[in-house]
Amino acid sequence: MTLIYGHRGARGEAPENTLPSFAKALAAGVTRVELDLHLSADQQLMVIHDPTLKRTTGLRGKISQHTAASLQAMDARFGLPDWPEPCPIPTLEQLFATFPQFEHYQLEVKSGSAAQSRIVLDAIYRLVEQFGLQRRIVVTSSSRTLLRTARDIQYPYPTGLVEEYGLLDPLKSAQRYRCRYLILKWTLCRPERIRQAQAAGLHVSVWTVNEPALMQKLVDMGVDSLITDFPGLAMQVLDKA
């Protein structure tokens, strides 16, 4: 059975990576979500995709230049201005505390140096232990530095390689870093690649899949999960499959 992950909550229906967006996914019956993480100036994990504020808040500056408290006071509905209420940038701790119903999280880390990777991995570890989510998360990234760091410190939680371009063999890369998930852009999906990855023990998750016909095509290929901006629509398509 193909699983559904809400992309940044329900990005197509509510301001992305905000609590209302994750609530939308739950309302559609989707209990798995993908989200993005950056560190604040005081090293709190913030749920936001970009390293800068402009696209989602309309403000200038970097996430890393602001404390968690100041980021939580900002309104992240700039990309969806018709949304009726302010949408603060949440911390990962807030998200975990607000939605204990979620069965699984793909935590995509936007990371740079090895030192920063270690800080992020340690911060995730503390929160996962605090909320008892050891079996309900995978730490994903396109950053080889982060995945190498996780491998080298024998990080206790599963990791996943996010692959957009496929310049190097995604399967070999995922195996090199001892990942358990391979998160592919849908354009990289071929039946043979999916079969080989699954034969190697990898969960193949595919993003960002918003068209019903494409959803069905990928389900027919046998992918393990779809990441979509429209989790309610995906539920309808998979119910008919």
Q: What is the pTM (predicted TM-score) of this model?
A: 0.98
The CATH number given to whatever domain includes residue 134 is 3.20.20.190
Q: How far is CA 206 from CA 45, 86, 222, in A?
A: 24, 31, 11
Tokens of 183: 């998160």
Would you say residue 241 has pLDDT above 90? no
Residue 5, beta-bridge partner list: 227
Q: Rounded mean pLDDT of the chain?
A: 97
Round to whole Å and give the CA distance between 141 and 44. Answer: 18
Tens digits of per-residue pLDDT, 53-74? 999 999 999 999 999 999 999 9
Tens digits of per-residue pLDDT, 13-59? 999 999 999 999 999 999 999 999 999 999 999 999 999 999 999 99
Tens digits of per-residue pLDDT, 169-217? 999 999 999 999 999 999 999 999 999 999 999 999 999 999 999 999 9
Tell me the mean pLDDT in the region 109-116. 88
- Looking at this protein, which amino acid is placed at residue 140? T
Q: Nearest 10 degrees: CA dihedral of 63, 45, 75, 82?
A: 110
Q: DSSP for 113-171, please give it.
A: SHHHHHHHHHHHHHHHHHHT-TTSEEEEES-HHHHHHHHHTT-SS-EEEEESS-SS-HH
Would you say residue 240 has pLDDT above 90? no
178 Ramachandran zone, left/alpha/beta (phi>0; psi -120 to 50):
left
Tens digits of per-residue pLDDT, 122-158? 999 999 999 999 999 999 999 999 999 999 999 999 9
Q: Name the residue range of residue 78's domain.
A: 3-240
* Number of domains present in the structure of the chain: 1
